[in-house]
Structure 1
Amino acid sequence: MLLDTAALYFRAFHGLPETITAPDGTPVNAVRGLLDIVARLVGEFAPTDLVACWDVAWRPAWRVELISSYKAHRVAEPADGARPAREIVPDALTAQVPIIAQVLDALGVARVGADDHEADDVIGTLAATATMPVDVVTSDRDLFQVVDDARQVRVVSTARGMRDLELVTDAVIRTKYGVGAAQYADFATLRGDPSDGLPGVTGIGEKSAATLLSRFGDLEGVLAAASKVGSGIPVGQAAKLRAGAEYARRAAPAVRVVRDLSLPQFDGVIRMTDERRRTGADLARRWGLGRSMDRAIAALTTE
């Protein structure tokens, strides 16, 4: 099980009141909420391995070089050359991220990240190289591109909330969008994704993007057809595709998750030990995590 960790702790933060605090007054709603999410997921899906995939860079420089608008609307202040641009994050959540890392480490949940890459890229790499079935837990549609029925890679989508988890397979993606998982990144490139600051090809929406990909296979096939007379693409649509071809070719590698990162060695096997129980209990007292820590420890105890 691969966790899109930031997506989950943002969900936890917004799902619980900030009045949930540690004895010293530090807000811990995201910490407690994430522990409850982990307990729910491990209890329901019973993974043997669990990895908290980490955003070392939430807005990688190489993606911004490709598409300058990438996540630009989420920048709290512009980069000034001396430091990277900061993501808009509530102060009450920022204070909790180090605690979240501390708690995951204490419970033996592997945290894995990579320089200048997002958690999505870690997930893409681990999903592509896994030798066992994989569940990717996220609310982000971008990760639909890693779904692979043949290799038993699916997404457990939290987009509708933790009470209404959706298991996303290739069949689900085809039903929803009219494209397969292997085409999803090209589909998102053509359609755009305002949540990531990606405008898409002007005049190409979801239906037209799906229709084009179903006829021509992939992005390059669509762009090649648009440049030919008699391809069957309506004249106006072909003109829009030609006008947007440069954008599409630059955006495509920014949209696609990386699948070949060199990642640090880690042990993802769920293994609760007495030392981890003690450390977890100590942190629960320190941060006022109460029953949330108890539930997480119980779920991670596999004996």
Structure 2
Amino acid sequence: MVSRRLLLGALGAGLAAPALAWAEGDGAAPPSVLTRKGRRTRRALKTQATDKAALDKALAQVKPLEDPNAVDPAEVHPPQAVSPDEALGRLKQGNAIFARGGASIALPTLARIAELSKGQKPFAVVVGCSDSRTGPELIFDCNLGELFVVRVAGSTVSQEGLGSIVYAVEHLGAPLVVVLGHTKCGAVGAAVDVATKHVDLHGALLNMVLPIIPAVLEAQDKHPADLQDAAIRQNVRDVAARLKVADGVLAEKLSEGRLKIVSATYDLASGLVAFDA
């Protein structure tokens, strides 16, 4: 089928009915019917047909468009924005700013909130205590969307907590996990009392301190001057060590150098975080 514009041009050139039938593809028009302009029109139609065939051939060689619904591998295994050492450096720098009283308390802008509604890319996971004085975003001078935080009294990790950490590392691309304890931790103090004074805890409170008791006993063997403080530091070191072998995803990324797991202790009095790495 030829275009409307070409048919109107053919009429203007004086094509008779048989020639129009040829233009529609219904038959061949006798040469005698065509005027000089009509013959030029016929050549134009042949050229158009040749060009169309060439175009069809070219289109057949074009790579099909990708399925818009296909899953982008980068969404499943997102590339790392920073290295583990860079992420650790950012936390150390942020804590130094906080400890000298220069931390930013600016709230995120509406534009930033809207941007984060589309996805998150935290540069570190912080496993911390629920203590109200130890908010990771504050003590590391971070803002919304920068840290993936898992908090429970005593900085221990349950199976649910482990799943949260693996999710952040595998699907969000976080290159660093910090297990953060703090001085004067009440949960560790309760574990010390259970282990040394046989204090009777019950129910959920006992379940909370049970994972900490091995760290208390290990610290006790070293005869420290302050058992609670020693147990706090031993507890986060033990949790970090267990995380390194607790899941295949974490172990693989550690071996590849794409992940670092470290322990640290926050001093309530000074605001400083002492890292074990």
TM bucket (normalised to shorter chain) is under 0.3
Q: TM-score, normalised by structure 1?
A: 0.26
Greater C-alpha radius of gyration: 2
TM-score, reference length from structure 2 = 0.28
Tell which has more relative contact order, 1 or 2 (C-alpha 8 A, sep 6+): 1
